[in-house]
């Protein structure tokens, strides 16, 4: 049986760029939320988001290429380069046909779509950019990264809303297991803080309207939560077959041991209140890992800070783990970085893997008033110092798409 390990981590996030900066901010409980600056939100009911700051795409690609690529591609390219460097990967030494890219994005190049619709409306069809289509497509982050590194193996862009990155990573894991590739750059990217997306999510009543205190707006599992804070960024991980990694002396952050997926088949936006789909996905990931339910120690929760989703996830954890749920450590990375939609699973998996490296579970900030309808043990204001061995990373998307990744400390 082939085994899959993680050998490189690349991060573009609202709380910093690069693995070490990102982890330091998470462990210190820093929020990346603030007033929207990417456009003028005057007149919007929601005027806050967790934006990526101090990011220059020309640090990662040439000026001409940057102009012809959407912000989501900028983020994906930067995170991929960081992951390749972090893995100490000599791309020229790889068999290109055994080297793949699986990068998801829920919204794709929505900035480009918004801008070019304005051009079409104001100036006519002849003025729409010839690069509009390749800048807008959701598969283009995966395509750009593959072109950059000459990765000619399996290539996929899973689009399952907020589960996109987790499904991309799960499919990458399965691809390596079935011997179709030895190494895959995987994860997700998103850059959806745009007028149309913010207006749309606000109309759904999905976003927090705590405009006067953005740092306290994302509060997963807290009684006073009122919606999620939109985030953005990219997370790219190097998934590698174990023997391949050992032969080149690669750093190993952890092992991927299982992957679960399911569908609620319940509603286009609302989760099944019983959490049946997430419960089945978690059970599948545990079973595929060869674990018992009692072996699971940490849950990096989907934890969006929306009233329905957090209640549902709590019900799913209670329903699956029973009394063992009281022994779990549960936390939400979204409390600090907001909800990065199709990139969320990748950024949260990177956070989870850092828990192995640092023997530390980061806090869930703003968890101040426990909700009796979310009866789970949330890691609150302070981090927990513990050498965790096993964990699940949960992500659930609109449409009822559920993805769960199981990770284990690598012990040789």
Q: What is the pLDDT of residue 412?
A: 81
Percent of the chain with pLDDT over 90: 99
Q: What is the pLDDT of residue 302?
A: 98
- pLDDT digit string (tens) for 5-28? 999 999 999 999 999 999 999 999
Topology, domain 4-247: Peroxisomal Thiolase; Chain A, domain 1 (3.40.47)
**Joined tokens for residue 372:** 């009796």
Mean pLDDT of 127-153: 97
Neighbouring CB atoms inside 10 A of 35's CB total 12
Mean pLDDT of 308-333: 98
Neighbouring CB atoms inside 10 A of 402's CB total 30
Instruction: Give the whole-angstrom CA distance, residue 191 versus residue 197.
Output: 10
Burial label for 169, CB within 10 Å (0-12, 13-18, 19+), is buried
In the chain, the N- to C-terminal Cα span, in Å, equals 15
Topology, domain 257-408: Peroxisomal Thiolase; Chain A, domain 1 (3.40.47)
Q: Which of 162, 175, 263, 374 is catalytic?
A: 162
Q: What is the pLDDT of residue 147?
A: 97
Is the pLDDT at 380 greater than 90? The verdict is: yes
Mean pLDDT of 97-110: 98
Instruction: Give the whole-angstrom CA distance, residue 95 versus residue 151.
Output: 9
Instruction: Give the whole-angstrom CA distance, residue 344 versus residue 235.
Output: 8
pTM of the model as a whole: 0.97
pLDDT band per the 50, 70, 90 thresholds, residue 91:
very high
Please enumerate in sequence order all residues whose Cβ is within 8 A of that of 269, keeping only pairs 6 or more positions apart, or say none: 204, 206, 398, 399
Tracing tokens 């900035």 back to the chain, one arrives at: 111
Closest CA to 238 of 18, 6, 80, 407: 6
Mean pLDDT of 335-340: 98
Average pLDDT, the chain: 97
**Joined tokens for residue 378:** 């949330």
pLDDT band per the 50, 70, 90 thresholds, residue 1:
confident
What's the angle, vertex CA 16, arms to CA 45 and CA 386, rounded to 5?
A: 105
- pLDDT digit string (tens) for 168-227? 999 999 999 999 999 999 999 999 999 999 999 999 999 999 999 999 999 999 999 999
Instruction: Give the whole-angstrom CA distance, residue 158 versus residue 154.
Output: 13
Residue 10 phi/psi, 5-degree rounding, is -125, 135
In the chain, CATH 3.40.47.10 covers 4-247, 257-408
| 263 noted as active-site residue | no
Q: Are residues 366 and 336 in contact, defined by beta-carbon separation less than 8 angstroms?
A: no
Q: What is the pLDDT of residue 96?
A: 98
Instruction: Give the whole-angstrom CA distance, residue 380 versus residue 362.
Output: 9
């Amino acid at each position: 049986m082939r085994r899959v390990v993680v050998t490189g981590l690349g991060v573009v996030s609202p709380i910093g760029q690069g693995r070490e900066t990102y982890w330091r901010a998470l462990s210190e409980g820093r929020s990346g939320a603030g007033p929207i600056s990417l456009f003028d939100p005057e007149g919007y009911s929601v005027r806050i988001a967790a934006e990526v700051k101090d990011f220059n795409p020309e640090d990662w690609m040439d000026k001409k290429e940057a102009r012809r690529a959407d912000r989501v591609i900028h983020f994906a390219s930067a995170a991929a380069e960081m992951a390749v460097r972090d893995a100490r990967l000599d791309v020229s030494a790889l068999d290109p046909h055994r080297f793949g890219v699986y990068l998801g994005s829920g919204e794709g190049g929505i900035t480009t779509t918004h801008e070019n619709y304005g051009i079409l409306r104001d100036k006519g069809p002849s003025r729409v950019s010839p690069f509009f289509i390749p800048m807008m497509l959701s598969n283009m982050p995966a395509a750009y990264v593959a072109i950059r590194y000459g990765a000619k193996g399996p290539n996929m862009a899973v689009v399952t809303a907020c589960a996109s990155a987790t499904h991309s990573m799960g499919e990458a894991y399965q691809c390596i297991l079935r011997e179709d590739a030895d190494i895959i750059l995987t994860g997700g990217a998103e850059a959806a803080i745009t007028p149309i997306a913010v207006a749309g999510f606000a109309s759904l009543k999905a976003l927090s309207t705590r405009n006067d205190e953005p740092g306290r707006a994302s509060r997963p599992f807290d009684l006073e939560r009122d919606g999620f804070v939109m985030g953005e960024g990219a997370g790219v991980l190097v998934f590698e077959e174990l023997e391949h990694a050992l032969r080149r002396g690669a750093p190993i952050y952890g092992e991927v041991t299982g992957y679960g997926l399911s569908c609620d088949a319940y509603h286009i936006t609302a989760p099944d209140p019983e959490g049946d789909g997430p419960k089945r996905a978690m059970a599948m990931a545990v079973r595929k890992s060869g674990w018992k339910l009692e072996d699971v120690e940490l849950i990096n929760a989907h934890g969006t800070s929306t009233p329905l989703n957090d209640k549902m996830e709590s019900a799913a954890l209670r329903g699956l783990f029973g009394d063992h749920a009281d022994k779990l450590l549960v936390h939400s990375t979204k409390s600090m970085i907001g909800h990065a939609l199709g990139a969320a699973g990748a950024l949260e998996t990177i956070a989870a893997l850092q828990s192995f490296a640092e023997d530390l579970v980061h806090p869930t900030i703003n968890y101040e008033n426990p909700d009796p309808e979310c009866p789970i043990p949330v890691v609150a204001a302070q981090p927990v110092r513990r050498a965790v061995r096993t964990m699940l990373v949960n992500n659930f998307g609109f449409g009822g798409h559920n993805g769960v990744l199981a990770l284990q400390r690598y012990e040789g």
